[in-house]
Structure 1
Amino acid sequence: MIMIDLTSDVLQFEATTTTDGLMDDGYTIIHSAVSRELLEAIDAELDERFRSTPFCEGGFYGERTKRFGRLLIRSDHVAQLVMHPTIRALAETALGPWCDRIQLNLTQAIELHPGALPQFPHRDQDMWAGDIGQREYLINAMWPLTSFTEENGATLLWPGSHGRRALTDAGEGPMIVAEAEPGDAIVFLGSTLHGAGGNDSADVRRGIIVSYSLGWLKPYENQWLAYPPHIARGFPRELSELIGYAQHRPNLGNFEGRCPSVLFDGDPDAALAAVDALRPDQAEMLADYVAAQRPASTAEGRRS
């Protein structure tokens, strides 16, 4: 049984205090967003997995870097980061205009070892071949597990490189080093140019990335494989919906025309009736259309 801890190590903030910076600059840093003790507990829970995970292969992931996902089953406390109210409010602000609901895109633990090279500057939105500058596709929250410093490879960000500027900004502008401590959250848009710095220290640099994307996109981490129904049914309902056990209206992500949460009770033996899952505006338009058709159908039936 997976234990999910949603208790009170999360500190409350007004999302409006950070929204302006995020949307104006493409990033914001929320200091002391959670207690340092919470991150220490998560670090301890993930320590053995960090030690056993091989180094990545390839220049983008980094040959002196370790990465692994599925953090909701590897730590009892990661759900507090995923469900952080301020971060989720920022995600709703940034993504809400373009989707019916947001979704969890990934949870990933990252460990940069001494000698790690600076990462290729990139924009995470480029995972999808969509229009650039027309909408935001995702938002990231980087949670340090150890101190993030310039020497050990803290995340590099290019302020103002987001949104429509992603069409022309290739990193010529000024760059900042997002130095932060465990408990802080470095939040940036998927259109913001960024990358890990190089680790010139003698110590490893550990962090967690939690990202959220438009609910109709294919997520980076396949959440239904990471958390199949027999696992996800033990999550709080709001969390299971965030990882994909809810339809994105209209009707996306269904199972046999139903919400995929029907699988929490096992693979249904009986045939299921498909049920509309429509946005309110669509339901209203459909109701008007159906109402207009019924009298005509009845009259046609009398004539025949």
Structure 2
Amino acid sequence: MDHQNIIETIKDRGYFIIENLMPEDGVQAARDILDPIFAEQRTGRNQFEGFKTQRIYSLPKYGPALWPFFMHDDLMQIIKPLLWDDCLVTAALAANVLPGEQPQAFHVDDGFYPLPRPRQAFSVGTIWAMDDFTAENGATELIPHSHKWGEGEKPEGVLELQDAFHRHEPGQGDGWHSPENAEIIRAEMPRGSVLIFLGNLWHRAGGNKTEGARLGLFPQYCASWARTQENFFLSIPKETVAEMPTVMQELLGYNIHPPFMGHAGGFHPQKTLPTA
């Protein structure tokens, strides 16, 4: 795999798809854990979360079958150079898009870092296809090159992000139309593939017009000096973290970003983990 070519492509157009990266047995092992949880899971509270979308957070705590999706060596060789050569997991969720779901509002993932655009992305998102992603079942929609847009530039004529957060009842056709100032592409890919995209690229989940659900895993990464979206120190028990490989512990924040960012009372944070 030509990691450097993939990195340059991502820098140019904002995203890249690697097809069939996770073997089928790895995908199924993760589904064997997640499918029973989704069977009892509620749907979203607003238009952004999705009134017909189920979500699970803090995925690494559910067991070793989930960890390869976060620390895959090919991903690390692509993502770390995009984030000052070091990264943390900033968000760790799965989203199951059910039949009849409408598209999300277009958004960027690192917009809460309050520095003006254009700028380098402070995060990189990945989406693993746990089902085939198609135009009909809600494949992620992306606006190529939109990570280069300046301050105030955004997709025109579509549902605003803040409106999506404050809409607590479904609205007919919300978000179905395309932006007036940009073309969109759909990240269609077979099960086991992964989409990698910059955190300042405009994108959204598509609408599901099929009779079946569409599941994706969403490991998101940020520069190691940035604050993460999820607080894994609180959401994942230390006993569970202690059982993880070192690289997974580091991605969850049990690491030092040189020279000493992240220390725990002057010691390496891994020293706080229980031992057998």
- For residues 4-51 of structure 1, the C-alpha deviation after alignment (integer angstroms, 9 at most, x for no partner) is xxxxxxxxx331241222111000011111212311221122111111
Distance in 2 separating the partners of 1:108 and 1:259: 27
User: Alignment identity in percent?
Assistant: 26
Q: What's 1:234 paired with? A: 243
8 Å CA contact 1:22–1:28 kept in 2: the answer is yes
Equivalent of residue 69 in structure 2, options 70, 81, 95: 81
Greater helix share, structure number: 1
Distance in 2 separating the partners of 1:232 and 1:132: 36
TM normalised by structure 2 equals 0.86
Indicate whether 1:216 and 2:201 are aligned.
no
8 Å CA contact 1:136–1:163 kept in 2: the answer is no
8 Å CA contact 1:103–1:215 kept in 2: the answer is yes
Q: Which runs of 5+ in 2 are unaligned?
A: 156-178
| Residues 185-196 of structure 1 mapped to structure 2, 5 A cutoff | 185-196=194-205
Q: What's 2:6 paired with? A: 18
Q: What's 1:181 paired with? A: 190
TM normalised by structure 1 equals 0.78
State the shift of 1:167 in Å: 4.9
Q: What's 2:169 paired with? A: none
Distance in 2 separating the partners of 1:262 and 1:236: 14
Provide the aligned length of Structure 1 versus Structure 2. 251
Distance in 1 separating the partners of 2:54 and 2:134: 18
Which residue type is aligned with residue 144 of structure 1? A
| Residues 84-123 of structure 1 mapped to structure 2, 5 A cutoff | 84-96=72-84, 101-123=86-108
Indicate whether 1:64 and 2:49 are aligned.
no
Which residue type is aligned with residue 88 of structure 1? M
State the shift of 1:165 in Å: 4.5
Which residue type is aligned with residue 121 of structure 1? F
8 Å CA contact 2:128–2:216 kept in 1: the answer is yes
1:166 to 1:195, Cα distance in 2 relative to 1, 3 A: farther
Distance in 2 separating the partners of 1:130 and 1:168: 14
Larger-gyration structure (1/2):
1
| CA RMSD across the alignment | 1.7
Q: Which runs of 5+ in 1 are unaligned?
A: 1-12, 267-304
Q: What's 2:136 paired with? A: 151
SS of 2:75's equivalent in the other structure is helix
